[in-house]
Amino acid sequence: MQKLPIKSTKIISQRENQRIAKEDLVVTEEPLEIIIGYGPENERTQTSLAITMRTPGHDFDLVVGFLFSEGIITQVTDISSIRHCENVKSPEEYGNVVKIEIKPEVNFSKNHLSRNFFINSSCGVCGKTSIESINMEQSYFKNNDSQFQISSEIILKLSENLFAQQTIFSNTGGLHAAGLFDTTGSLLMVKEDIGRHNALDKLVGWQLMQKNYPTEKILFLSGRVGFELVQKAIVSQFPIIAAVGAPSSLAVDLAHEFNITLVGFVKNNGFNIYAGKERITEN
């Protein structure tokens, strides 16, 4: 049984002084459990790594992107298999459990399990065990040395181009999106999810599993930009992050530290540059 990203529900619609009973579409939100298999070939271990509330669809992209963003894998070849579990405890769990096996030579530390991996669909950083652990994890991040530039005109068009491809959002109004654009402003891929972190993980996972994708690229987000979204972008080497909403103070600090261009409040008539202004020309 394939999970659907939208569901129909009965509502009462009130407009002015009139109420009408009708059907409406809402975005689906269901838990996804990630089970990871790791260890030497003759001594494999399986454990539940995380549970995230997500919109069904592109679950493998989500899982791969999550493991990559967390530094558990560094490339797609670290994975030996990924599948939905069919042997589940209840019908409700069918399609909601993904098992991913990483290769025996991949060093999966139990320290990864020290984080409370219950991921709220709207907040990722709250799962960290401490602020200190966040700072320690930055040791495997790399400064982005991309030197390419894009015009302000391209930034102004990103929002319209993204929303035109948000098919589920247009029916429900209840999803975040993460879009990947090239330097001409052409949309390469968009991923949607009720959680903005999940939407980005889906995009990161999709990109990781592509054999060819541009190194000069623009990440566009449909909402606000928090610290952890910038973390994920750094790991995936996105040089430019643009967003409809505002960034947080920590997001701005992190962008400066790792040479990321960060743009917020993108509309069709303007935007704010918070970091990395050198990559964006005035015309």
Tell me the CATH number at 277: 3.40.140.10
Is residue 102 located within the same domain as residue 154? no
| 126 catalytic per annotation | no
Please report, for residues 20, 34, 103, 113, 124, the alpha-carbon distance to residue 45 in angstroms, rounded to integers and kept in the order given.
Answer: 55, 14, 12, 13, 26
- The last residue of one of the domains, among 137, 165, 191, is 137
Determine the Cα–Cα distance for residues 152 and 156; give it in Å rounded to an integer: 6
Mean pLDDT of 200-214: 89
Closest C-alpha to 204, from 66, 33, 101: 66
Among 2-6, 47-51, 59-63, 80-84, the minimum mean pLDDT is found in 2-6
Question: What element of type H or E holds 20?
Answer: strand 18-27
Is residue 187 located within the same domain as residue 88? no
- The last residue of one of the domains, among 115, 137, 159, is 137
Is residue 130 located within the same domain as residue 171? no
Whether 120 maps to a domain, the answer reads: yes
Is residue 183 located within the same domain as residue 103? no
Mean pLDDT of 244-254: 94
Is residue 168 located within the same domain as residue 239? yes
Is residue 177 located within the same domain as residue 212? yes
Is residue 45 located within the same domain as residue 92? yes
| Under 8 Å between Cβ of 180 and 203 | yes
Per-residue pLDDT of 98-155, as tens digits, reads 999 999 999 987 666 655 455 555 554 554 544 455 554 555 577 888 889 999 999 9
Whether 100 maps to a domain, the answer reads: yes
Whether 129 maps to a domain, the answer reads: yes
Mean pLDDT of 160-188: 80
Whether 197 maps to a domain, the answer reads: yes
Residue percentage of the chain with pLDDT more than 90: 60
Q: Which of 4, 123, 131, 164 is catalytic?
A: 123
Burial class of residue 249 (count of CB atoms within 10 Å of its CB; 0-12, 13-18, 19+): exposed
Is residue 49 located within the same domain as residue 118? yes
Is residue 47 located within the same domain as residue 89? yes
Is residue 244 located within the same domain as residue 169? yes
Tell me the CATH number at 40: 3.10.20.10
Whether 18 maps to a domain, the answer reads: no
Whether 25 maps to a domain, the answer reads: no
Phi then psi dihedrals of residue 226, to 5 deg: -95, 175
Check residue 162 and give its pLDDT. 84
Among 59-63, 77-81, 105-109, 224-228, the minimum mean pLDDT is found in 105-109
Whether 253 maps to a domain, the answer reads: yes
Whether 17 maps to a domain, the answer reads: no
Is residue 75 located within the same domain as residue 158? no
Structural domain range at position 181: 150-281
- The last residue of one of the domains, among 99, 115, 137, is 137
Task: Name the domain count of the chain.
Answer: 2
Question: What element of type H or E holds 263?
Answer: strand 261-267
**Residue 33 above 90 pLDDT?**
yes
Is residue 109 located within the same domain as residue 171? no
Question: Rounded mean pLDDT of the chain?
Answer: 86
Q: Which contacts of 81-84 are long-range, i.e. CB under 8 A and separated by 24 or more positions?
A: 84/59
